[in-house]
Structure 1
Amino acid sequence: MIIGDSRLEALGWHHVYSGKVRDLYESSAHPDRLLVVASDRVSAFDHILSPGIPGKGALLTQLTLWWFGRLGEPTHLAGGHPSLGEHLPDQIAPRTMLVHRLEMYPIECVVRGYLAGSGWAEYQVSGSVCGIPLPEGLREGDQLPEPIFTPAFKAPMGEHDENITFERMAEIVGDADAVMLRDASLRIFETASDIAAERGVLLADSKFEFGREPSTGGAVLADEVLTSDSSRYWDAETYAAGGANRLDSFDKQIVRDWLAAHWDKTGEPPELPAEIVERTVARYQELVDRFLTDH
């Protein structure tokens, strides 16, 4: 369900696109702006699940705005809660960003500091990730000698993104932009890793998206950034202690694990139990509290 669609229509904002989590709105009164509204929808295995995760959209937006204020990078942000609260309904404002309209690069700029997820799966087969050879004998969750840039091509809606080499990325966006996006992604990841470490959190990997500002031609950081949905975070103490739960992440992994155990991936997925939803909410909230609590 689209959040507050009729109320935004009344304010002159018209729905133009919905992804798995976010909805986009435009207004003829603000042709160079978009409203990005993060929903409480949760997806896994290419399905949107029911019910959603209450408060998730507001938490992701809150964390994105927090990071935008600390990275020292140009971003697409034109306004966010609470400044938007004067103009938008209370249900919508905390999950909304007013952003500059950009020409988005069709690349997910993934940086990996640890070997996990699809990178781990690829390494087991080839000993490399996105064409980057890695040392032999690494285990799942091991820290890499240095963070690596492993881009993905953004597939059309409903299809899987495709991991690609840096050389293939350069063919898509051009050599100069490929270098610029790689360097910016690695720089942001390093800054974010240091900030996370101060809060007892390891940033295992993250994906960034960038767009080109039409009037200046400059590239800016866009979409959500360093949230539980775009990044893999681990508790530093738990990781150091080892054990079966050392790679427990601050995201929807609880949902993925439950679904994998209770669904054969055919037909429609089952409804999530209340206990799974509650545990997932708590995990999202814990990460936000780690960062937003004064240090």
Structure 2
Amino acid sequence: MFEVPLLLVLIVVVALAFDFTNGAHDCANAIATVVSTKVVTPRFAVGAAALLNLGGALLGTEVAKTLGSGIVLPQVVEGSHVLVLAALVGAIAWNGITWYYGIPSSSSHALIGGLIGAAVADVGFGALNGQGIVDKVLIPLIVAPLAGYAAGFVIMWIIYWVCSRIARSRVNGAFRRLQLVSAGFMATSHGLNDAQKTMGIITLALVIFGEIDKVEVPLWVKLACASAMALGTAVGGWKIVKTMGHRIFKLEPVHGFAAETSAALVISGASLVGAPVSTTHTISACIFGVGSTKRLSAVRWNVAGNLITAWVLTLPAAGSVGFVSYWLLHFIWQ
């Protein structure tokens, strides 16, 4: 129906639109705690997060390579021109639903689910890199939130132990300033992991169309994805900020510092090994871990139940939409 170059342009545009929605949807990951503790104004927080997301997005490509070749096998799906577009439609649809209801689900797993569903619709399960999915998706899906919970709990406990004889007002005063550092670290790690996912999906499209020979991220792809995510972050996702910053646990600056620092450590570590973890899962789990050091009843566990439900549904829901989208698009472009 259309020439291949036009379809490739459409895929890149839709991918950047997804990156924009990712920045808006996951903006809360970087700024929810620093806004809810009233350390800075929302406008300042969003602006700073956008710039740091931009910087973080340019720091590596390991996660991009995982999305480009670790989920589906490029040599198997080569020539499947609508596959990447169908994957993006699945991811954007699920992002839109969860954004509307203010549910901090994972944009990362929405994209991965959409890609898996579209690949299965195209070739079958033989298109999937089973070992890569287990090592880079399923294991981190479980490990990252657990690591976040443990890191938040331990860091908060250490802070309590170190500051036990210091007046509470002095502690919160100090951590109001330190939280600027932790929020910056969190925003940078968010860009480092999340923007690379769209870099990987565009690079996979370039391989499928024969524009490049292997999964190596071109410079223009890095710059475009980093800019789209930064712009999305600047728009913000205030419904999810409210959920993350107020509904889980009543945060003070010291709690915000512990949650942001622990989440940024886990996300940065995952980025170094190329694991596309959910920044949403991780920061949520860190907040639960921090809150649990006070007392278990201080945490609103009913919110945890709702979040876990969304986490479990994301991969199959986005995968189903990706599967259906593939056949619809295949019919249009056949």
Q: TM-score, normalised by structure 1?
A: 0.26
More helix by share: 2
The higher-RCO structure (CA 8 Å, 6+ apart) is: 2
